[in-house]
Amino acid sequence: ERLKKIRNFSIIAHVDHGKSTLADRLMEFCNAITEREKEDQLLDTLEIEKERGITIKLQAIRLNYKAKDGENYILHLIDTPGHVDFGYEVSRSLTACEGALLLIDATQGIEAQTLATFWQALNLDLEIIPVINKIDLPSADVDRIKRQIEDVLGLDPEEAILASGKAGIGIEEILEAIVKKIPHPKGDESKPLKALIFDSYYDPYRGAVAFIRVFDGEIKKGTKIRLMSTGKEFEVTEVGAQMPKMTALDSLKAGDVGYVAASIKDVKDIRVGDTITDAKNPTPEPIPGFRPAKPMVYAGLYPTGSTTFEDMRDALEKYSINDAALTYEVESSPALGLGFRCGFLGLLHMEIVQERLEREYDIELITTAPNVIYKVKLKTGEEIEVRNPSQLPDISKIQAILEPYIEADIISPSEYIGAIMQLVQEKRGIQKGFDYLDKNTAHLRYEIPMAEVLFDFHDKLKTATRGYASFDYDFIGYKEGDLVKIDIKINGEPVDALSFIVHKDKAYRVGRNIVDKMKEVIPKQLFEVRIQATIGSKVIASAKIAPLRRDVLAKCYGGDVTRKKKLLEKQKEGKKRMKQFGKVELPQEAFLSILKAD
């Protein structure tokens, strides 16, 4: 009986199709939101998330809804992150649901992420309710979206709800559909506890907190829990739900969604996808599908300016309490000194970590260009992982280098197909599929080396398609590649932190471009600076930066006061992201030149 009054659902959508706005409306309708809270979109908590308009952390909100049938329902709205870096988290939070609202922007139609999450939801057998959003806009084309819903997703277009989160249209209809169409959770309170962790965060008061979906049994204060992937045990100090404030409850039972705190010091103990059970009365089988978070991208982070290695180590230690996906280990670079090689889920994750270290921990740092993980087969038969290009073994010892591949979905108006094909070919992509979502919308599928996507692929795709194409991807595995390492020398000295790995066919072009790019970004010094790109002992490109002329300096300082101030201001800014190499000052951009060199 209790279970019949519960519904667990997510909203899945492409970025900017209006998920957060709709979520706020649903909360407002269920009186779960106060005026003050309305100001900041509630689901996005962290400052950076808000600035970027991207939802990163999953959360679960409990709503009380009195339906038209006169019954009171408990609805759990489980948020999903909207970026490919966090694909695994999305799959876990969908596992916690019985249904999903598939939100489609009426002016945009189906995009790459819509399709990717739709397939995930379908594979998990979720009930999917299509919602056509932003119908308040004059350019909304509801008929086109309906045809897409039928032709592409194979859903009944007549079931689609017309809505506007912004104008508050269709909100009650959505809530009614959730109650009527999404099945209630099944489960057995009397069985041993079995709960899925689909998110975690660090709370200064509660310690590491897990967001869970209970499948069987019951969890409450005092329960001795066991985390099944590690066998670690903790005693529960609090269970509750976000309403949307964190609110303590007596217990969470089969079918419920909520949070658990158990004086856990480190979020790394609460792994997304892991199963929580009762240590005294454990469930025999964990929930399938657990996978430890695995970094896909590595980069070196080095202290600079007034930040010391110790400052940085402390900051990383503190920061990683709240980020289970970040890995780091000490790394020593002849050029940059002592720093850390960090592993990230993807490029966005890397940017977030970097920004938060700078902003919240006052760390001044320089990052090396990110790289994928290479697998190297040695002639001895041994296979090693290379996370830092400068550590690639000597070519004479290498049998083969393998690189990771992704499968990419690209959706775009058909007029840009030619431009996309050309771009993907430059990126060594192999076409795997091609179809039309409707008369004017093409869907292309490719296998592309992941390294090629790290370098400015997304920007180039957007430029080639005037911003219309959308893109989503999945890691598929490793393949052998004809790859070489390029080293960069400054005044004859190799700078290990600038080494990178690239496909042989592109080596000369990329070498040339990177040298030119560095010539642009390295400030003039009082002496000549020589930059060279080399493969082994062979120089493939070089450039010279002429020394600074004295009168230029003099002119700068002779100017009026405000200009001088500005200049000093600028220099200070610049200082932050500089690293001394021998006598040469290298700005941050120099280390990232490779990202723009292709």
Binding site for ligand GTP (CB under 6 A): 13, 15-21, 53-55, 82, 133-134, 136-137, 164-166
Output the six-digit token pair for 451.
Answer: 């390294």
Query: Of 52 and 575, which has the nearer Cβ to ligand GTP?
Result: 52
Q: Least separation, in Å, of the C-beta of 219 and ligand GTP?
A: 30
Q: Least separation, in Å, of the C-beta of 258 and ligand GTP?
A: 23
Pairing of strands 578-581, 584-587: antiparallel
Give residue number: closest CB to ligand GTP: 18
Q: Least separation, in Å, of the C-beta of 142 and ligand GTP?
A: 13
Query: Of 250 and 459, which has the nearer Cβ to ligand GTP?
Result: 459
Query: Of 135 and 267, which has the nearer Cβ to ligand GTP?
Result: 135
Whether 9 contacts 96, CB under 8 Å: no
Pairing of strands 483-490, 493-494: antiparallel
Cα–Cα distance measured from residue 312 to residue 359, given in angstroms and rounded to the nearest whole number = 13
Output the six-digit token pair for 536.
Answer: 């082994």
Q: Least separation, in Å, of the C-beta of 470 and ligand GTP?
A: 12
Cα–Cα distance measured from residue 342 to residue 184, given in angstroms and rounded to the nearest whole number = 42
Q: Least separation, in Å, of the C-beta of 358 and ligand GTP?
A: 22
112-123 helix and 87-95 helix, angle to the nearest 10 degrees? 40
Q: Least separation, in Å, of the C-beta of 116 and ligand GTP?
A: 13
Cα–Cα distance measured from residue 101 to residue 191, given in angstroms and rounded to the nearest whole number = 30
Q: Least separation, in Å, of the C-beta of 14 and ligand GTP?
A: 7
Q: Least separation, in Å, of the C-beta of 54 and ligand GTP?
A: 5
Alpha helices in 522-560 (DSSP H): 550-558
Residues 6+ apart with CB under 8 A from 102: 12, 13, 114, 117, 118, 121, 128, 129, 130, 131, 153
Pairing of strands 374-378, 383-386: antiparallel
Q: What's 287-350 look like in SS3? A: CCCCCCCCCCEEEEEEECCCCCHHHHHHHHHHHHCCCCCCEEEEEEECCCEEEEEEEECCHHHH
Output the six-digit token pair for 35.
Answer: 């005026």
Query: Of 147 and 166, which has the nearer Cβ to ligand GTP?
Result: 166
Q: Least separation, in Å, of the C-beta of 168 and ligand GTP?
A: 9
DSSP state of 193: P
Query: Of 16 and 188, which has the nearer Cβ to ligand GTP?
Result: 16
- Find the radius of gyration of the CA atoms of the chain: 27
Cα–Cα distance measured from residue 365 to residue 302, given in angstroms and rounded to the nearest whole number = 5
Whether 434 contacts 444, CB under 8 Å: yes
Q: Least separation, in Å, of the C-beta of 90 and ligand GTP?
A: 12
Q: Least separation, in Å, of the C-beta of 170 and ligand GTP?
A: 9
Cα–Cα distance measured from residue 230 to residue 223, given in angstroms and rounded to the nearest whole number = 18
Whether 330 contacts 338, CB under 8 Å: yes
Query: Of 126 and 131, which has the nearer Cβ to ligand GTP?
Result: 131
Q: Does the N-terminal peptide bond of residue 393 adopt cis geometry, omega within 30 degrees of 0?
A: no
Whether 402 contacts 422, CB under 8 Å: no
Query: Of 19 and 517, which has the nearer Cβ to ligand GTP?
Result: 19
Of 367, 371, 328, 364, nearest in space to 351 by CA: 367
Query: Of 105 and 409, which has the nearer Cβ to ligand GTP?
Result: 105
Query: Of 462 and 576, which has the nearer Cβ to ligand GTP?
Result: 462
Cα–Cα distance measured from residue 425 to residue 417, given in angstroms and rounded to the nearest whole number = 12
| Helix H or strand E segment including 84 | none
Q: Least separation, in Å, of the C-beta of 362 and ligand GTP?
A: 28
Q: Least separation, in Å, of the C-beta of 43 and ligand GTP?
A: 8
Of 457, 456, 503, nearest in space to 481 by CA: 503
* Residue 572 amino acid letter: K
Query: Of 92 and 134, which has the nearer Cβ to ligand GTP?
Result: 134
